[in-house]
């Protein structure tokens, strides 16, 4: 079981196909494709039965947190997956994750078995799970990601996510990716991940292409759709 810790700013932008082409053209001079940069990322987000975590997040508090299980591509029972505890405080994102096999992660989150190894991050995830209680799969999300890293700054990374899909059925990483789309056709969510500020060359590219910062949460947008449908069907789901 491996452990990873990330601390950084994550700045989001919504791009149409023309704007994405402009940014990727500028990348040729400053960025390199990640060796594992073209991938389909699959996630299962965990929440309480009343969606407490995502409701709190949408209120835009100074501090928020969430827990998800992630795989790169469709998993099988023996695939490596990640349990990720993601926190955001005052604009800084802290991501702590452990890697384990899919069947181990699924059994742990279902309450059937403990984590296979003891670690500091594992104990933090266990505390989170016990604190919120009754956590269960809330939404499955997948998307196609292209990832890049900077030639000059090892702390600077950037990703483009397209074909962002969500669903409330088959919420396992072993299920085939797919679902309902969250973005308009030919649009991508662009994220800059940095320990400091956005470099000047990229600021100039974004400004020239009239690209503005956007507030967009994949899980949050899926939840809003769930609420809209529940309101229409009078199912009594509590919505923010």
CA pair distance 171, 122, nearest whole angstrom: 22
Average pLDDT, the chain: 93
* Residue 235: per-residue pLDDT: 57
Taken in order 71, 4, 190, 34, the sign of the CA dihedral is negative
* Residue 127: per-residue pLDDT: 96
Q: Could you report the per-residue pLDDT of 106-158, keeping only the tens digit for each?
A: 999 999 999 999 999 999 999 999 999 899 999 999 999 999 999 999 899 99
Task: Name which residue leads in pLDDT, 154 or 73.
Answer: 73
Q: How far apart are the first and last CA of the chain?
A: 37
Other C-beta atoms lying within 10 Å of the C-beta of residue 210: 8
| 234, pLDDT greater than 70 | no
Q: What Rg value do the Cα atoms of the chain yield, rounded?
A: 18
Taken in order 128, 129, 134, 140, the sign of the CA dihedral is positive
Label residue 231 by pLDDT band (50, 70, 90): confident
CATH code, 2-233: 3.20.100.30
| 236, pLDDT greater than 60 | no
E-assigned strand segments in the chain = 2-16, 31-47, 63-72, 80-89, 92-101, 136-150, 157-167, 180-181, 187-194
Residue 13: both structure tokens together: 């932008």
* Residue 4: per-residue pLDDT: 77
Label residue 5 by pLDDT band (50, 70, 90): confident
- Could you say which DSSP state residue 1 is in? -
Percent of the chain with pLDDT over 70: 96
The whole-angstrom distance between residue 176's C-alpha and the CA centroid of its chain comes to 18
Q: Could you report the per-residue pLDDT of 171-207, keeping only the tens digit for each?
A: 999 999 999 999 999 999 999 999 989 999 999 999 9
Number of H helices, E strands in the chain: 6, 9
Task: Name which residue leads in pLDDT, 134 or 3.
Answer: 134
């Amino acid at each position: 079981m491996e452990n990873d810790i990330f601390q950084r700013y994550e700045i989001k932008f919504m791009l149409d196909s023309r704007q994405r082409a402009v940014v990727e053209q500028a990348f040729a001079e400053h960025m390199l494709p990640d060796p594992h940069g073209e991938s389909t990322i699959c996630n299962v987000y965990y929440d309480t039965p009343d969606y407490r975590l995502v409701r709190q997040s949408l209120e835009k508090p100074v501090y928020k947190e969430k827990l998800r299980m992630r795989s790169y591509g469709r998993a099988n029972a023996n695939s490596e997956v990640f349990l990720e505890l993601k926190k955001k405080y005052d604009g800084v994102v802290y991501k702590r994750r452990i890697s384990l096999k899919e069947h181990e992660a699924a059994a742990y989150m279902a309450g059937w078995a403990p984590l296979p190894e003891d670690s500091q991050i594992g104990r933090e995830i266990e505390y989170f799970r016990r604190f919120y209680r009754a956590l269960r799969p809330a939404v499955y999300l997948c998307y196609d990601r292209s990832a890049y890293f900077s030639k000059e700054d090892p702390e600077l990374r950037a990703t483009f996510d397209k074909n962002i899909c969500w669903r409330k059925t088959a919420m396992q990483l072993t299920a085939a990716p797919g679902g309902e789309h969250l973005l308009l056709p030919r649009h991508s969510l662009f994220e800059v991940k940095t320990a400091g500020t956005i470099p000047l060359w990229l600021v100039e590219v974004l400004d020239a292409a009239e690209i503005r910062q956007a507030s967009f949460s994949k899980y949050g947008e899926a939840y809003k759709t769930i609420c809209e449908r529940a309101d229409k069907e009078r199912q009594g789901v509590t919505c923010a």
